[in-house]
Structure formats: structure tokens, C-alpha cells
Structure 1
Amino acid sequence: MPNDALIVSILNLMGDSISSLPDEILGKLLSLVPTKVAASTSVLSKRWRNLLSLVDSLSFDESMVVYPNEEEATKGSQRFCDFVDKTLALLHNSPAIKTFSLCRVAKTMSYNDESARLNRHTQWGLFRYGATFGGGGGGTVVEHASIKRLVIATHVPHHIDYYLLLEYFENACQTVRFQAPSLVYLDYSSFVFRKYDVGDLDSLVEARLSLKLWRSTSHYDYDDDYYYDYNGSLCDDDDPSPPIFGDVTCLVAAIRNITTLHLSPDSLEVFHFCCKSMPIFNNLLNLSIESNNQNGWQVMPLLLKSCPNLQTLVFKGLVHKVTNRCGDACACNPQNPSLKNSKKMKKKKKICCLQTCPVKVLEISDYGGCFQEVEQMRHFLGNLKCLETVKVGVDPDNKGKNAEFLLANLMNLPKLSSKCTIQLL
């Protein structure tokens, strides 16, 4: 029995205990289940037949669609879009809608432009907006003065070849457009687009960015000779492969007034390779960064220098990929014989970006105590002069070392700030 029919049967079995409740309460109950289930309930149950218009939350998830065969599931089906269209047409005048979530996971590249439909429905004045696109290249358009919370996730299958993606982007819409002056919270997960057209986001308080490049940048790890072409794409004279795609300069500039920023490991590299100029984040108080050994910290010095009032710095993991552009935010000392100006670089002594960083609270999670992590902690403690509190959470998968041992190692590291205290989470 399908899940929606099962839920309807349960509701019917409960009889008057629920059916006797006011319509407004029943509408709230329908809002708690996926919209497909809510719609089926309204169709299959007499008592619930006219209550769909009372739901305040719409959640469309393609995984709820049952495809007739594997071939249709692989190619994608119009059934999901038809269901979304019919439901939204039925509820287009509903004043109750506050939450709208659309999840579509397509298995093939498609030029379907879903942005027009989403743009139309944002005119309801939604407070939260969510979308997951399978193709990733159709662009996203969000325009409305009253949207408060915006959540967008764009997924592209990892098995698709970059050259196919590049050709795809040449034929698809390449611009993401945000016009939401009342936006307070932005959660944006996507591969980078060629262009971002972002309006006034002065009301934005918190942003969570998970941006991803379309191709690996490993061949740039020890290369000082790359540049931006006339399209704003990163190039290398000796590199026959396509340039790095995307430009997030406008997007980054638009969020400059936020107080809290969360960045994924890939976002750090996107900021480095696809942001032509870094704005000053005068209001930024909390910066949270995820890190792994697949992505570098090239942008970290510039980012920290651009946050003159930063109070709390949070890292989920300290291990990162070492490149010749790590800078002085980390303790890395990359050795590469191909560096032409390594001797000159050693002679130049600059003030470490950490010494001008006003951070008072440093929080580390997933700490494992490996050599690179210990050296990074030594670098932080020895250069952050305003540091007052260090909170360290031990990696739960690290069973070879106990927390007390790791804490003892950290306590023995020299500290520039006399006010600094270290505690385990």
C-alpha cells in the first residue's frame, strides 16, 4: 500500500477524534506531511476534501513519485512537474502559504527552465524558499520583496564529464538572479555560475554558502602564472584544459553586511579562484569554516583581513590541502622546486594576518591531534593576540588518542594572549 494511502487509512481509523477538530487545526496537520500525501488525503477522505487550501507549508519531493519503469525513472518524468503545476494552480490564491520547498533530482542533463515557475510562486511572499535542481544549469531567479529565508540547493551528478558540462553551460542559462531586499537568511548550495545578478541584500544577517567549482584546480596548486581572461575565467598559458568557470564577485559583494558566515571547504577555493575582489565585511562577527584535505586555504589571509571586527572563528577540521598560496593564515611550509621566487619569498617578512585579527573566541571541532593540526594550533595560539577562549572538540572517530592527552598537548603550546584559556567541548 502506498504511503499516502496508508496515512489516509490511519486518519480514517482515528475517526471523530481528529475529524471533529476545527478546520484550521486539520490544515496544520496537513502542513506537516509532504504535499503529495496532503493532496491524496484531500482527495481520498471526505472530511479532508476541502482542507488543502488551509496548508501553510508546501513540500514537493520527486522521490515521492512512483515511476512506471526504470527507463522512465532514468530519463526523468513529466509526472512530477505536472503534479507541481496542478497543485500550485489549485492553491495560487492561498494566503496561508509560508513555506515552499521543491526537491527535484533529475538523472540526466536538461535545459528545462524551472526558474520561471519558481519565480512566479515567490510572489506569494514566502518566508522560506527551497529548491534542488538536478540539471544545475538552468539558472535560478528569485524576486520578491518579502522573502525572509531562502534555501537553494543545486545538485549535479559527479559522474558527468566536465567537457559535457562546459558544452551544456554554453547552451543553458548561466545567470543566477537574487532580488530579495528583505532576505535575512541565505543557504545557497550550488556549482558556480558564470554570472550572479544580486540586488540589495542589506537586511541579510546570516549566509551559509556551499559553492563548488566545476573542475579540479590541483594543477594550479604550485602555479604562479595563472590569470583571468576577458570573460573573467581563470586561465594558464601552459594549461591546454578549459579555464575555471564562474564568477561569484557580485554574490560575495552583496553579502558584505552579514554578521554570520558559514563556508564549506569548496567555497574557500571558489572565493579564491572566482572572486575578483573581496569586500570588507565590517559587520561580520562570526565566521565558520569547514575544512578537509581536498581543498586549500589560499583565500584565508585575504578573508581574515577583510573581517576587521570578527569576534568568533569556528573551524570544523583543521587539515587542508597544502599549496604554494596557503599564505600566513596557516602553518604550512610547502616545498616545491618549481617555485621560481621561493628565495625572494623567504626574505620578505610581512606581518602575519592573524596578528591583526581581532578574534576573541576560537572553536575547533573534529580535532584529531595529528602533526598538521598541532602545528596549526601552535600557529593560531602564537599569533592571535586578542584570543580569550579556545574551545576544542575531539574527532569522535579518533579512538587512538584520548581527550586528556590532546588537551595536555594544547596546553603546552605557547600563547601570545595572556588571557587565553583552552577547554574541551
Structure 2
Amino acid sequence: MSRRVLFATGISREPTVGARDRGQKEKKMVREKSPRVAKAINIVGGDNCALFVATCLDPYYGLRYAGWVWVKPDWIRAMDAKSFVRTCSRDAISWLPDEVLGKILSSLSTKQAASTSVLSKKWRYMFTLVDNLDFDDSFSNNNSFKSFVDRTLALQRDFPIKKFSLKCHIRKDNEWQKVYVGRLISHVVKRGVLEIELRIKDRGPYRLPHQLFASKTLVRLSLRLFLGKLPSFVSLPSLKFLYIDAIVVKHEDLLCKLLAGCPVLEELSLLLKCISIMPNTISSPSLKRLSVHYTCRIFNSSLSFDLPNLVYLNYSGFSLCDYPQVNLESLIEAKLDFHPPGVAKEDVMNLVMGIRNVEILHLSPASVDKICYFYDGLPVFNSLVRLSFGCMDKRGWELLANLLKHSPKLENLTIKDFYGYTGHVSMPLNQVKVLHVLGYCGTAEELKHLKSFLKEFECIELVQVDVKGKDYSIISQATKDLMMLPGVSVSSKCQVKVTILK
């Protein structure tokens, strides 16, 4: 197969619209000659100078790039116009500084970037500048995948890696493959990787290499696998972001070991499946954001939170029997989505008490139903400003009335719909200024409920209604109905806004 490379360039000292148009025309020219030009990529390298580079290479060799590249004026100042034109006519992209070329190659997939090493002697070593590696064995057999990975790492030598992504499927009883994947992970850790994303399919638990849990440079770690036993010692002094989407069985020390070894962790996301024992305590003095979701029921389990600096909590899944300790003094926003509803023996009030300092609170219909069993002990939410509330029945509306009494600063209230509201539950006097109703259908019954609901909202300034569907006649009628609001003591400054529910 003959090698064919096309280059098109357009340059402007000031990146004007005209310069961009010329670049677009040249990019179109390249596309007409070869339909396999890659996507456009923007790279920031300086200011006051814009360089457009479009390249195309036969698919066998892999390099495909088209886009605007911003470069520093110093990079082209030494080259006069004639030499620039002469260079561009031969090989424009190779003229770019290595720093820019490295960013271009890092924006491509690893397979495409590695294939550029056949272009010339210069390009053979250019791949060492790539700091993002991603490997996926979904469409290859074991031998070809291993061969590609080995060749790629040989080209890279021991240069630093910024991000490493691995997606692989370990075949049944393939111990050799498990060992190879472990060595690969250990290799990138040794090279000072900053971010790792692992998606490993295995029929049984996979034990990650201990080197992964002793990295001094790792900042972000994402795991999606059947998680095996953790090493006895974990030390990740630079880790700030940890995401675990895993099947876990009988590893009660899962978070005890991990969090103890992550002194600067700021964000933790847990999606746990088939777990038989929940970690008893999630404790970290540095954690700021926490998302917890588990998809299986855990009987007779409890969970404590000792997170004094947490500002965001997203908790969903089956509620537990008890939450003995909840230290969330700095919490600003909380989302609760318990399921399934209607199980009275699971006491969630300690958790509700622990989030009493929030400013923003989201309660799903299932969470409201769960809290209804215990709302007589509802705390005072002195800082609550915004509340999103879903309801299933009359008990839920009674809980909302109680929440309004216990939230003296509440100004923004979102109601997911008026399902189950009959008007028999009157709302207390409150300070709500904005009412947002979701899923409004424009029926006469809904309008009646809304009128009844608003009777005690003396401070209301805006009523926003999101209408289901795209029937503009319903929107028009809903606007007219809401503008009238006869018999309701709404202040004259109150505005009505009707929008389409997205």
C-alpha cells in the first residue's frame, strides 16, 4: 500500500473570522480528497496567533487530524513567509513544535497515535510525548491485544503517563491473563501515572496489584470490576477522586482501609452491588463530596458518617436499619432517595437529623414515604433555602406541611407533581418566594389543587409550572388559568411562568 499524506494550513496573526473561514475551506478540501479526516481538536498553546492544520493519512497508517491549533508567536517568528510556505508545501504538521504534536497525538486514541510511528524517523519517537494511554480488548483476541500493548509500551519507553485507561475481559480460568493485566497496571504506576480508569470483566473477584494502592502520584482512580481482597496496606497520598463501581462480597474493610490511606481525598463515589456486609463507617476528614448507591438489600446493617468537611451528599439505595453516628456539620446540599418505600422498621431519622444544616435538600417520593413513619421527630432546618419534594400520598403532604413549619428560611420550593394532594392538608404560613411545579398537565383538578395549595404562600413572587408534553394549547390555557388564580391571596407582584418539561 502506498503512503499518502495530505496537509493543509492557514495562518493568521489575529485569529479573525476570515482566517477561520479559510481554514474551514482548506479542511473541506482535505475531506473531499479523503473522507477519513479525523475530528477537529482545539489545543491552547498561547495567544495572538492561530494555526490551522489539517492532515490525512491512509487508514493503514492511522494519523488523522483536522482542527485549529493555537500556538505561541515565538514559534513562527523565526520563520519568514517564504520558508513557511515552502515548509507547509512539504510537511506542515512536522514543522509544529514537539509540545503541540504531543498534545495532538494525546487527543487521538492510543491505537491511532501509535500508528504514526511509521511516518518517519522523527515520528518514530514522537509517540513518546503521548501522555494518555487507553487500551480496549473488546474487539481483539488475547494474543493480538497483548502484542499491541507490548509494542505500544516499547515505543513509549519509560516516559511519564498522565492518564491510563484499560478495558478488558478476563476469560474463564485464564490465570495468565490476570497476571498480565496486573503487571500492566503495576508498570503504569511505576511511570508516575496521575489518572487510572479500570473496567475489568471477570467471573470471579479480581485482586488488583498492591502497587496500585501504594502510588505516590495517583490523583484520580476509577474502578469498575468484581473487586477482590484489598492489600493489607494502602497509601495513596495524592489521591483526590475515587470512583468505585464494583461487586463486593464480605469486605467490611473496603472503606476502612481505602479511606485511611487517602489523606487528601475530596470526592468519593460508590456504586456497590451484591455486598453482604456494609462498611460500618465512612470516615474522612478531607472528603467534600460523597455519592453512595447500592443495588441490593442488606439486612441488619448500619452505617455511620464521620465526614466533618463534607459539603455534598447523594445517598440512594435501600435504607439500612440504623445510622448510629452522623457527623455532617458542613453539609450544604443533600439528595436522599431511599427505596423501596413502606418498610417502617428501617429508622432513617438519625440520618435526617444529621443533615439538618443543609441549604439545599432533595427528597424523592420514596424518601418522603420512608420519613413519614418518623416525621414527629423532624428537626428544625435553620439553613434550608431550597427544597425539592416528591410525594406519593396524603402522608407525604402532611410531611411537607411539617417541613414548612421547620424551615424558617425556605425561599424556593419545587414540587414534582400534585399526585395525592386533595386540599385537605393546608400549608402553614411560610416565607417561600418561588414555587416550581413539575409535571403539570393543566387539568381542572390540578388547577384547583394549586389554588388551594397557594392560600398560605403570602410571600410568593414567582410560580413556575413545567407542562408535560409539547401541546402548546395546554401551555396557553395553563398560562391563562394561572394568571387568573381567582380567590387566592397572592401578592400583586407575583409572576407566572409556564415552560415545557424537558
Same fold, judged at TM 0.5 (above): yes
Give the letter aligned to residue 254 of structure 1.
Answer: G
Structure 2 Cα separation of the partners of residues 53 and 207 of structure 1: 36
Asked if 1:13 corresponds to 2:115, the answer is yes
Corresponding residue number in structure 2 for 1:114:
251
Matched, 1:104 2:215: no
The aligned counterpart of 2:456 is: 383
Partner of 1:407: 479
Aligned CA distance change for structure 1 residues 133 and 85 (closer, same or farther; 3 Å):
farther
**Distance between the aligned counterparts of 2:185 and 2:127, measured in 1?**
12
Change (3 A) 1:28 1:209: farther
CA distance in 2, matches of 1:150, 1:286: 20
Measured after TM superposition, the shift of residue 276 of structure 1 is: 5.6
Task: State the match for 1:142 in structure 2.
Answer: 282
Post-superposition offset of 1:273: 1.6
Change over 3 Å in CA distance of 1:21–1:249 after alignment to 2: same
Alignment check: 8 A CA contact 1:42 1:49 kept:
no
Q: Deviations over 1:296-315 (max 9, x none)?
A: 43421212211111010112
Identity of aligned pairs, percent?
Answer: 24
Q: Report how far residue 104 of structure 1 moved.
A: 2.2
Offset at residue 43 of structure 1 (A): 5.9
Task: Tell me if the contact between 2:167 and 2:200 (Cα under 8 Å) persists in the aligned partners.
Answer: no
The 5-angstrom pairing of residues 13-412 of structure 1 reads 13=115, 19-20=128-129, 27-30=161-164, 33=165, 49-50=188-189, 53-56=192-195, 64-67=199-202, 72=203, 77-79=204-206, 82-83=207-208, 87-88=212-213, 92-105=234-247, 112-123=249-260, 124=262, 125-135=264-274, 138-140=277-279, 141-156=281-296, 169-170=299-300, 174-213=301-340, 217=342, 244-274=344-374, 277-291=377-391, 296-315=396-415, 317-320=416-419, 322=420, 330-333=421-424, 352-354=426-428, 356-395=429-468, 397=469, 399=471, 401-412=473-484
SS in 2 for 1:130: strand
The SS at the match of 1:402 is: helix
How far apart, in 2, do the equivalents of 1:128 and 1:405 lie?
46
Give deviations 1:114-148, integer Å, cap 9, x for gaps.
34122221231311111112236522321111111
- Structure 1 residues 44 and 201, CA, compared in 2 at 3 Å: closer, same or farther? closer
Aligned residues: 329
Structure 2 residue matching 1:195: 3-state secondary structure: coil
Q: 1:41 to 1:409 in 2, by over 3 A?
A: farther
Q: Deviations over 1:162-211 (max 9, x none)?
A: xxx6xx625xxx11111010111111112111110234311111111111
Tell whether the 8 Å contact from 1:8 to 1:41 is kept in structure 2 after alignment. Answer: no
Task: Structure 2 unaligned segments of length 5 or more: list them.
Answer: 1-107, 118-124, 133-158, 170-177, 219-233
Q: Following TM superposition, by how much is the alpha carbon of 1:378 offset from its aligned partner in structure 2, in angstroms? A: 1.3
Aligned equivalents of 1:12 and 1:312: distance in 2? 54
Q: Over aligned residues, Cα RMSD in angstroms?
A: 3.6
Q: TM-score scaled by structure 1?
A: 0.67
2:495 match: 421
Following the alignment from structure 2 to structure 1, what is the Cα–Cα distance between the partners of residues 344 and 268? 30
C-alpha displacement at 1:292, in angstroms? 5.8
